[in-house]
Amino acid sequence: MLRTLNEGICELYPGEEISKRTLRDDIKVFRDKVNGFGVPLPEGQRT
């Protein structure tokens, strides 16, 4: 998965890639149902 993702990133941004740790942290955010991706922002907080 990391290799495939980095190949796609490299096509858009030559020389760039992400680490295993970054990928692992991003996956945790997407899986977190309480504080993760898609959770509404606290009232008064802007994007």
Using one digit for the tens of pLDDT, what is the confidence trace for 28-42? 888 888 878 777 767
Task: Say yes or no to pLDDT of 22 above 70.
Answer: yes
Residue 45 within a domain: no
The mean pLDDT of the chain is 86
Band (19; pLDDT cuts 50, 70, 90): very high
Q: Is 14 domain-assigned?
A: yes
User: Are the beta carbons of 18 and 9 closer than 8 angstroms?
Assistant: yes
Domain assignment present for residue 38? The answer is no
Q: How many domains does the chain have?
A: 1
Confirm whether 40 is domain-assigned. Answer: no
Give the pair of three-digit tokens for residue 28.
């945790």
> How far is residue 47's CA from residue 45's CA, in Å, rounded to a whole number?
7
Quote the domain boundaries for residue 16: 2-31
pLDDT of 23 reads: 92
For residue 47, pLDDT beyond 70: no
Say if residues 16 and 10 touch (Cβ distance below 8 Å). Answer: yes
2: tokens are: 């990391």
Question: Does residue 27 lie in a domain region?
Answer: yes
Q: Is residue 47 part of a domain?
A: no
Domain annotation covers residue 11: yes
pLDDT at 45: 64
